[in-house]
Structures are given as C-alpha cells and as structure tokens.
C-alpha cells in the first residue's frame, strides 16, 4: 500500500492510502476529540466534534471519515476549529438534561471529559430540553434517553458487533431518538448476555440496572468551581 505524505499542524507526516485524517493524527500522537467515533465501528461523522481545518476547503471537515490525500495541509487545533468544537458542545449541552452529580457514568462520561478539556461550562444557548422517562423494564439494560446525545454508537455496536438489530433511529429533527421496534420500551431476552450497547454509550444513557440504595462503584464525583 502506497504512502501518502501530508502536513498536520506544521509537521510533515505520512500515512497509508485509505487512512482517515483521524487515524493518521492518532498514529502520530495528535489528540482529536471524538464522540460518535469508535475504531471498532464504521465512522459516520454524526457528532462533528472531530472537525479539522483543511487548507483549500471552505468548510471544516470531519476527521473520522475524511480520507487523507497527497500534500494535504491540516490544522487540528486552530482557533477556528476550537471555536467550532466549543459551539458544538454547547449545543449538545443546551438540550442535554443529564445531571452529572447523579449520573453513574459521570466519571467516565466522554461528553463531560471533552467539555472539561475544552473548558466548556454552562451553554450560552437556551434550547428546548429533551425529556424522556427512564426505561427500567429490562433486567439487562436501563435506558435514560434524556442523557442521549444521538451519537448512534449503540445502534452501530448492536448491528455491527453483536449482529443484532435491537435499536434503530426514529422520528426526525429535534424529535429524533433511538427506538426499539415501534418505539416501545426495551425488553428483549437477546440482551441477556450482551451489554455491548452499554459499553459503547459515551454518556449515562445506557447502564446496567441497579437496586435502589446500592452504592455506586468507583470514585466519588467532585465538581469544583
């Protein structure tokens, strides 16, 4: 496979033909934040957190699905890129109703981790919130779609890794959500020994059911001003 030479953040690097910008950046120790991306799943560029600036392109491009090209010049942390990522995060938080202090995944939440790295706090945008009742019908998976950021990782993990089709996309626009069958609560026996969707969920939208009063595992979440 032929080598492709390109420049990232002023440094000339090389990658293999067919690699994406994100893959080359990671191979060279350059950290680009991702939310919907996973190396185990087909990239779809849904969240746009991984956008970068490519010389000659009018728009920022998603690094997770954009293939490299010879002599490509890329900036992964330019002011324009950082501002775009912050705005995207603020928009996600604007309609995100999760409470970090009460969330079981607060210490391992990808969304919160990226926000901390980019120093994003309370969003400037006042958006309509997404409220969904907690689904605790299944003894294997508890769903809290109020915390869902529509990255579709659960859908892809279920289809591509578990080879099941438990989840799907339903509705449009602001009303879009991850659904089961014709939008019914999740209660499928096929989920008994799986849990792959919980592993790939970047927030606290999917968790293992726990009994009331049971102590949460892991370190306590500390939030400072």
The structural domains of the chain, ordered by start, are 3-77 (3.10.20.740), 88-207 (3.30.70.20)
Using one digit for the tens of pLDDT, what is the confidence trace for 144-190? 999 999 999 999 999 999 999 999 999 998 899 999 999 999 999 99
Identify which of 125, 124, 121, 179 has the alpha carbon closest to the alpha carbon of residue 150.
Answer: 179
Q: Report the C-alpha gap between 141 and 135 in whole angstroms.
A: 9
Q: What is the mean pLDDT of residues 81-92?
A: 93
CA distance 3 to 115: 35
* Contact status, residue 203 vs residue 109, Cβ threshold 8 Å: yes
Where does the pLDDT of residue 217 fall: very low under 50, low under 70, confident under 90, or very high at 90 and above?
low
**pLDDT at 65 exceeding the cut of 60:** yes
User: What is the pLDDT, as a whole number, of residue 20?
Assistant: 97
CA angle 116, 151, 149 (to 5 degrees): 60
Does residue 225 carry a pLDDT above 60?
no
Provide the pLDDT confidence category of residue 202 given band limits of 50, 70 and 90: very high
| pLDDT higher than threshold 80 for residue 203 | yes
φ/ψ region of 105 (left if φ > 0, alpha if ψ in -120 to 50, else beta) reads alpha
Helix (H) / strand (E) element for 6: namely strand 3-8
Q: How far apart, in Å, are the Cα atoms of 223 and each of 27, 41, 102, 108, 220?
A: 33, 32, 12, 14, 10
- The burial of 47, by beta-carbon neighbours within 10 Å (0-12 exposed, 13-18 middle, 19 or more buried), is given as buried
- Residue 214 scores a pLDDT above 60: no
Q: What is the pLDDT of residue 220?
A: 58
CA distance 6 to 13: 6
With bands split at pLDDT 50, 70 and 90, how would you rate the model's confidence at 212?
low
- What is the pTM for the complete model shown? 0.86
């Amino acid at each position: 496979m032929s080598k492709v030479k390109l420049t990232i953040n002023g440094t000339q690097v090389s990658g293999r033909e067919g690699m994406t910008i994100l893959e080359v950046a990671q191979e060279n120790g350059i950290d680009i934040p991702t939310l919907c991306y996973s190396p185990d799943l087909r990239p779809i560029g849904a969240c746009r957190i991984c956008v970068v600036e490519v010389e000659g392109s009018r728009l920022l491009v998603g690094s997770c699905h954009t293939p490299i090209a010879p002599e490509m010049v890329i900036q992964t942390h330019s002011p324009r890129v950082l501002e775009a990522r912050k705005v995207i995060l603020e928009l996600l938080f604007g309609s995100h109703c999760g409470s970090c202090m009460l969330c079981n995944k607060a210490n391992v939440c990808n969304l919160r981790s990226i926000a901390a790295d980019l120093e994003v706090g309370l969003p400037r945008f006042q958006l309509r919130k997404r409220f969904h009742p907690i689904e605790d019908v299944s003894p294997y998976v508890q769903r809290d779609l109020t915390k869902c950021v529509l990255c579709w990782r659960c859908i892809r993990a279920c289809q591509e890794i578990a080879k099941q089709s438990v989840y799907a996309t339903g509705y449009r626009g602001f009303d879009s959500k991850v659904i089961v069958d014709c939008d019914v609560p999740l209660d499928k026996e096929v989920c008994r020994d799986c849990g792959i969707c919980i592993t790939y969920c970047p927030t606290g939208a999917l968790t293992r059911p726990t009994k009331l009063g049971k102590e949460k595992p892991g370190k306590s979440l500390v939030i400072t001003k």
